[in-house]
Amino acid sequence: MDELLFFGIPQSEDPNLYVLGIPWDASSSFRRGAREGPKTIRASTTGLLYNSFSESLIDLSKLWRYKDLGDVETEGRTFMDVYEDVRKTVKENYKREALFLFLGGDHSITYHSVRAIKEASNEDFGLIYFDAHPDLYNAYDGSKYSHACVVRRLVEEGVVDPKNVIQIGIRAPTKEQIEFAEENGIKIISAGELYKSPNVKIKLKRAYLSFDMDVLDPAYCPGVGNPEPGGLSTRKLLEVVYQINTKIIGFDIVELAPQYDYNGISGFVAAKIIREVLAAAGKYHFCSGI
């Protein structure tokens, strides 16, 4: 059945798309279950349901060749043990012309993936962060590596320049987090702003995209660890994706907790996001071949 995954994109030992699962949810703060996310997301990309064309009629099977690197072992491991495995896997497979897709896991795995790509590439890039929450706490529940601290850790450790961080869909901030964003030049586009303005201005040459599934309203994506009403519709999120005109060097889908889902809705939304991001990334990378 593997040949039917990822919308029928061919598997290859010379890939330009790598897939790596990071089934970690020990950093979650409300309800756990995101460790089951990678398996569900993979299954939701089945070619039994989806063809390989994006909405813009880009044939993903003509642009991408993928290799699934499986899942990093997380059972009984520490957060930094898992990072070392992610770092090693990315370093061994990194190619500048290839794209990485990481399947979470709670949002703390973005610390691993972004830091690993930065180390492997030795190049600067921005971070476009789709989330209901800004994840800018200094610490949460006593942990500096909670999923509520991800962006702050990446900024304070110098992995990303805060002026190249754009957060989209935020609607559950705190005063402390907004002050940190303002002091450091992090751009926040709230869910409310997105509904008031049809255009999103994103000026980054290269960027990593991170999709916390709770950026969506629970009506569209109930299977998440920290549901926050008042969010984006699936269509609104896709319209924002279509406006991103930057080289995408990697992306992740996180916080999908299948046991809280209803009839697979959230998994299929995750698959839709992946398909359209691959189209956006492919159009930028291979526009002459489309």
Binding residues for Mn(2+): 107, 131, 133, 135, 212, 214
Neighbours of 193 (CB within 10 A): 14
Cα-Cα end-to-end distance for the chain:
28
Residue 127, token pair as written in the block:
């971070």
Neighbours of 270 (CB within 10 A): 26
Query: Is there a contact between 135 and 107 (Cβ–Cβ < 8 Å)?
Result: yes
Q: What is the largest CA-CA distance in the chain?
A: 50
Q: Shortest CA distance to 69 belongs to which of 19, 116, 104?
A: 19
Q: How far is it, in rounded angstroms, from Cα 188 to Cα 146? A: 20
Which runs of consecutive H residues, i.e. helices, occur in the chain?
A: 37-44, 60-63, 79-93, 109-121, 150-156, 175-184, 191-196, 234-242, 265-286
Residue 205, token pair as written in the block:
């040459």
Residue 167, token pair as written in the block:
């957060």
Residue 183, token pair as written in the block:
């002091």
CA 43 to chain centre: 17
In the block, residue with structure tokens 């039917």:
4
CA 52 to chain centre: 20
Binding-site positions: 107, 131, 133, 135, 212, 214
